[in-house]
Amino acid sequence: MQGSIQLKRDPAVQYLLRVGDTALILAQRLAEWCGHAPVLEEDIALANMALDLVGQSRALLTHAGTLEGAGHDEDQLAFLRDERDYFNATIAELPRGDFAFTVLRNLIVATWAKLLWERLQGSSDAEVSAIAGKAVKEARYHQQHAADWVVRLADGTAESRRRIDAALAELWRFGAELFESDAVDTAAHAAGLGPRFADLREPWLAEITAVFDEAGLAIPAESGFRSTGTRGVHSEHMGFILAEMQHLQRTYPGGVW
């Protein structure tokens, strides 16, 4: 069995992995729809989004590995870390649920990602800025696709409304984590690497409110619950994702693929 790599806990590395791992794990969930979507056209659309996210995670993980300076490449980082060294927001690892759950989660995450990438275009790190230039276009599209579907389902049939309501009740409390600031993003902000997550809350809420207004949805009450995936402490779901994702790399040490 292949053992885990040891990740250097450098704030800049951790900051980038929060974004990169969120893309990686969300891609993993979106790809589960392949061959199972409600309509063929959506199969293709969801796969497109998963591909965009894999691309973003590859770019970020590669760069994070460079900054870390321990010789870790994108695949070692993607497949050989311990669970506590993954920094995706918990919301990304939740099971894909039904189509309402998927599009609502996409809306929450893509809106955050878009605002983040917009600001990362101005990063003091040239590589991050370059990655952001491409990713922001993708995030815009993901957000638009998700928003249109949330409106469609919220104002579709009684059944679709019931499902969006259920998805909202489950998902909303996991959104708060995306706007928690700590030493990591404070350091990133100070270095000009990227924005503080807390600074994204207001614009995010404004955009979500606009979509919810069109959909006839109400912003739920705040919950005191805070998920902690960005700090490496995940939900029960993460273990299963990693077991599947890491399986081949763990089982074939030294394998060349």
Partner 1 sequence: MSTQTEWPLWEVFVRSKAGLDHKHCGSLHAADPKLAIQMARDVYTRRQEGVSIWVVRSDQIVASDPGDKAMYFDPAEDKVYRHPTFYELPKSLDHM
Partner 2 sequence: MYTQAMDTMGKDEAAKTVRSAEEMQLQERFDARIDAGDFIEAKDWMPEHYRKTLVRQISQHAHSEIVGMLPEGNWISRAPTLKRKAILLAKVQDEGGHGLYLYAAAETLGTSRDQLFEALHSGKAKYSSIFNYPTLTWADMGTIGWLVDGAAIMNQVPICRCSYAPYARAMIRICREESFHQRQGFEALLTMMTHGTQAQKDMVQDAVNRWWWPSIMMFGPPDDQSPNSAQSMRWGIKRVSNDELRQRFIDATVDQAKLLGVTLPDPDLKWNEDRQSHDFGAIDWSEFKRVLAGDGPCNRERLAARVKAWDDGAWVREAATAHANKQTLKEAA
Please tell me whether residue 123 binds partner 2 under the rule CB under 8 A: no
Least Å from the CB of residue 47 to partner 1: 9
Task: Give CA separation, 150 vs 108, 110, 163, in Å.
Answer: 11, 13, 11
In Å, how far from its chain's centre is CA 168? 17
Residues in CB range of 248: below 8 A, 6 or more apart: 255, 257
Sign, CA dihedral 9-12-17-22, equals positive
- In angstroms, the CA 161 to CA 32 distance is 23
Q: Candidates 119-127, 129-137, 168-176, 243-251: pick the segment binding partner 2 (CB under 8 A).
A: 243-251
- In angstroms, the CA 161 to CA 151 distance is 10
Please select the residue that binds partner 2; options are 3, 35, 71, 224, rule is CB under 8 A.
Answer: 35
Pick out residues in 41-60 that bind partner 2 (CB under 8 A).
41-44, 47-48, 50-51, 54-55, 57-58
Binding site for partner 1 (CB under 8 A): 39-42, 44-45, 48, 144-145, 148, 152
Please select the residue that binds partner 2; options are 9, 38, 95, 226, rule is CB under 8 A.
Answer: 38
Question: Smaller CB distance to partner 2: residue 46 or 115?
Answer: 46
- In angstroms, the CA 125 to CA 117 distance is 13
Question: Smaller CB distance to partner 2: residue 159 or 202?
Answer: 159
Question: Smaller CB distance to partner 1: residue 39 or 158?
Answer: 39
**Which among partner 2, partner 1, none contacts residue 144 (Cβ within 5 to 8 A by kind)?**
partner 1
For tokens 């696709």, the residue is 145
- Token pair recorded at residue 205: 């809420």
Residues in CB range of 41: below 8 A, 6 or more apart: none
- Token pair recorded at residue 58: 């590859």
Least Å from the CB of residue 22 to partner 2: 15
Pick out residues in 182-241 that bind partner 2 (CB under 8 A).
none
* H-helix segments, 155-200: 158-175, 183-191
Least Å from the CB of residue 153 to partner 1: 11
Binding site for partner 2 (CB under 8 A): 24, 28, 31-32, 34-44, 47-48, 50-51, 54-55, 57-58, 61, 74-75, 78-79, 98-99, 151-153, 155-157, 159-160, 163, 244-245, 247-249, 252, 254-257
